[in-house]
């Protein structure tokens, strides 16, 4: 695919070498380029020919760029697999809200003990205990795991960047 694009660019540039291009300004002040003089302010623009390159060197550098791109994509996919799923902060907020709601129900004043709906105090205490134990688990077990996974993910990304830089340094030596 890249070879096709390179060939098209070479053909297009060779066609444009023999043509004259004019630069004008439209009513809004934007530059306009045309092969015909487009107004009184038309300026002739010289098109410099591209430097000569052989098809073999263009294809070789193109294949090297594709190879480097594939290696980088593979490396980043592997790093992405290490990325933590996240959501611990959201889970902690949900648990804290659930605990606060149970405490609010438990501490709500009763206006009339005969007309108000009865409270199931043991169940409310159990909800608070369950929320506390789940919060402890999230904060002391899952959160450190997420931080470690995030550190591994960032380390893998920096390794990908380092490998890419290494390939860029050794690329001229391959030619």
What is this structure's pTM? 0.42
With respect to residue 73, please indicate whether it lies within any of the assigned structural domains. Answer: yes
Asked if residue 29 belongs to a domain, the reply is: no
Residue 81 within any structural domain of the chain? yes
Q: Where are the alpha helices (DSSP H) in the chain?
A: 2-17, 55-82, 88-107, 121-137, 143-174
Number of domains into which the chain is organized: 1
pLDDT in tens, 84-117: 776 778 888 888 998 998 888 888 776 666 666 6
Torsion of CA 143, 145, 151, 153, to 10 degrees: -110
Q: What range defines the domain where residue 87 resides?
A: 2-12+54-174
pLDDT tens for each residue of 16-34: 455 677 788 877 777 877 7
Q: 1: helix, coil or strand?
A: coil
């Amino acid at each position: 695919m890249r070879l096709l694009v390179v060939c098209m660019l070479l053909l297009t540039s060779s066609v444009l070498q023999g043509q004259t291009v004019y630069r004008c300004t439209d009513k809004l002040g934007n530059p306009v380029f045309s092969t015909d003089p487009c107004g009184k302010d038309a300026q002739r623009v010289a098109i410099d020919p591209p430097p000569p390159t052989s098809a073999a060197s263009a294809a070789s550098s193109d294949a090297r760029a594709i190879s480097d791109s594939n290696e980088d994509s593979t490396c980043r996919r592997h790093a992405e697999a290490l990325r933590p799923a996240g959501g611990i902060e959201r889970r902690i907020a949900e648990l804290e809200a659930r605990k606060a709601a149970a405490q609010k129900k438990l501490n709500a004043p009763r206006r009339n003990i005969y007309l108000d709906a009865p409270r199931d105090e043991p169940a409310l205490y159990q909800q608070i205990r369950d929320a506390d134990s789940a919060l402890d688990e999230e904060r002391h077990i899952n959160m450190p795991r997420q931080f470690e996974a995030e550190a591994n993910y960032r380390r893998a990304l920096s390794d990908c960047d380092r490998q890419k830089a290494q390939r860029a340094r050794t690329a001229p030596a391959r030619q």
